[in-house]
């Protein structure tokens, strides 16, 4: 493994396997060809035209459209065409979160290959012996990436909540970090990638944060999502990321960005420019 391998793993997809997902003339996502075929076989809600899948029966308004998609996803889950529903709703947007055209269940988003947004927090401590990073172990009971290593705080960005508010919520739920600590998290950029996953295409935007924690602030498990927290020397994090695949896939990218910004991966690394560029990959074929 190498740092670059992780970036490539998060950007593995073949445009030939997907069709544009179009709603009211707008390209909002990408659907796997066989999922598109299954949708059109079900009735007249979806149609194929001009090499794209169109949501033909989409109502006009934001609320009506969101409700209609909710009913469609419920039906698709019942038919076994969608694995499950999550309960949280994501915006479906051609660009930013605030440009949502309608909402979709979080777990259904990849089936339609719509852009998703998340937040990851690099929680670190400046110790006597250098930088230490807080690392979380995901619970064995998690549906996705059970037992994998994770950021101290990381989560998706549902519709209807601001970035600061969601960060506070996640900091409390996942690591029992109070609001005054959460508010110290500094936005430091974003990583973007586009990946073919079991459920479909994932064109993701992860907003990255650095949160320097005082040595006496110790995250603790506040829900059932995390089984343990470790405070690791940054060198241990580096070798764990570089040489293995024990971190949740997208965490590797956020950590590589952290290592570059903190000068721990330096410009003499032969892959430096490829890493810096690769961390901001295009979000699908529409760019």
CA-CA distance, 187 to 60, in Å (whole number)?
Answer: 36
Q: Is 55 in the site for its own copies (CB under 8 A)?
A: no
CA-CA distance, 201 to 111, in Å (whole number)?
Answer: 7
- Binder to its own copies among 33, 79, 126, 186 (CB under 8 A)? 186
* Strand duo 226-233 + 102-105: pairing: unpaired
CB of 260 to its own copies, least distance (A): 5
Q: Is 207 in the site for its own copies (CB under 8 A)?
A: yes
CB of 200 to its own copies, least distance (A): 21
Closest CA to 16 of 285, 286, 287: 285
Q: Is 254 in the site for its own copies (CB under 8 A)?
A: no
- Please report, for residues 35, 42, 65, 66, 246, the alpha-carbon distance to residue 61 in angstroms, rounded to integers and kept in the order given: 25, 24, 6, 8, 44
Q: Is 244 in the site for its own copies (CB under 8 A)?
A: no
Kindly identify the residues of this chain, within the stretch 187-206, that bind its own copies according to CB under 8 A: 187-190, 192, 205
CB of 7 to its own copies, least distance (A): 12
Q: Is 262 in the site for its own copies (CB under 8 A)?
A: yes
Kindly identify the residues of this chain, within the stretch 85-104, that bind its own copies according to CB under 8 A: 96, 98
Cβ-Cβ contacts under 8 Å for 138 (sequence gap 6 or more): 145, 146, 147, 148, 149, 150, 225, 226, 227, 248
Give the CB-side neighbour count of residue 117, counting CA atoms within 13 A.
23
Which residue has tokens 């149609």?
Answer: 47
- Binding-residue total with its own copies (CB under 8 A): 27
Nearer to its own copies, 163 or 249 (CB): 163
x/- string (CB under 8 A) for its own copies, residues 99-138? Answer: ----------------------------------------
Q: Quick one: which segment of 68-76, 146-154, 219-227, 279-287 binds its own copies (CB under 8 A)?
A: 279-287
Q: Is 267 in the site for its own copies (CB under 8 A)?
A: yes
Cβ-Cβ contacts under 8 Å for 283 (sequence gap 6 or more): 115, 192, 194, 203, 204, 205
- Binder to its own copies among 123, 277, 284, 286 (CB under 8 A)? 277
CA-CA distance, 157 to 21, in Å (whole number)?
Answer: 22
Q: Is 260 in the site for its own copies (CB under 8 A)?
A: yes
Nearer to its own copies, 138 or 151 (CB): 151
Q: Is 180 in the site for its own copies (CB under 8 A)?
A: no
218 φ, ψ (degrees, to nearest 5): -115, 120
Residues at the contact surface with its own copies, assessed by CB under 8 A: 96, 98, 162-163, 186-190, 192, 205, 207, 260-263, 266-268, 270, 272-273, 276-277, 279-280, 282
């Amino acid at each position: 493994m190498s740092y670059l391998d992780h970036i490539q793993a998060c950007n593995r997809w073949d445009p030939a396997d997907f069709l544009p997902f179009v709603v009211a003339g707008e390209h909002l996502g990408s659907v796997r060809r066989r999922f598109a075929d299954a949708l059109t076989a079900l009735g007249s809600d979806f149609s194929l035209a001009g090499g794209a899948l169109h949501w033909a029966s989409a109502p006009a308004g934001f609320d009506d459209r969101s409700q209609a998609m909710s009913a469609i996803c419920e039906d698709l889950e019942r038919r076994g065409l969608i694995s499950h529903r999550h309960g949280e709703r994501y915006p479906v947007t051609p660009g930013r979160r605030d440009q949502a055209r309608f909402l979709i269940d979080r777990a259904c988003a990849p089936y339609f290959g719509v852009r998703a947004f998340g937040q990851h927090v690099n929680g670190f401590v400046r110790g006597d012996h250098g930088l230490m990073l807080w690392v979380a172990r995901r619970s064995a009971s998690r549906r996705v990436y059970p037992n994998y290593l994770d950021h101290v705080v990381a989560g998706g960005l549902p519709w209807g909540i601001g970035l600061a508010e969601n960060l506070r919520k996640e900091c409390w739920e996942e690591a029992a970090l109070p609001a005054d600590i959460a508010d110290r998290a500094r936005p430091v950029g974003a990583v973007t990638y586009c990946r073919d996953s079991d459920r479909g295409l994932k064109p993701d935007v992860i907003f990255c944060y650095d949160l320097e924690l005082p040595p006496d602030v110790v995250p603790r498990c506040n829900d059932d999502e995390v089984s343990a927290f470790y405070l690791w020397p940054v060198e241990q994090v580096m070798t764990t990321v570089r040489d293995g695949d024990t971190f949740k896939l997208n965490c590797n990218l956020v950590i590589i960005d952290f290592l570059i910004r903190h000068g721990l991966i330096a410009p003499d690394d032969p892959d430096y420019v490829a890493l810096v560029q690769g961390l901001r990959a295009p979000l699908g074929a529409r760019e």
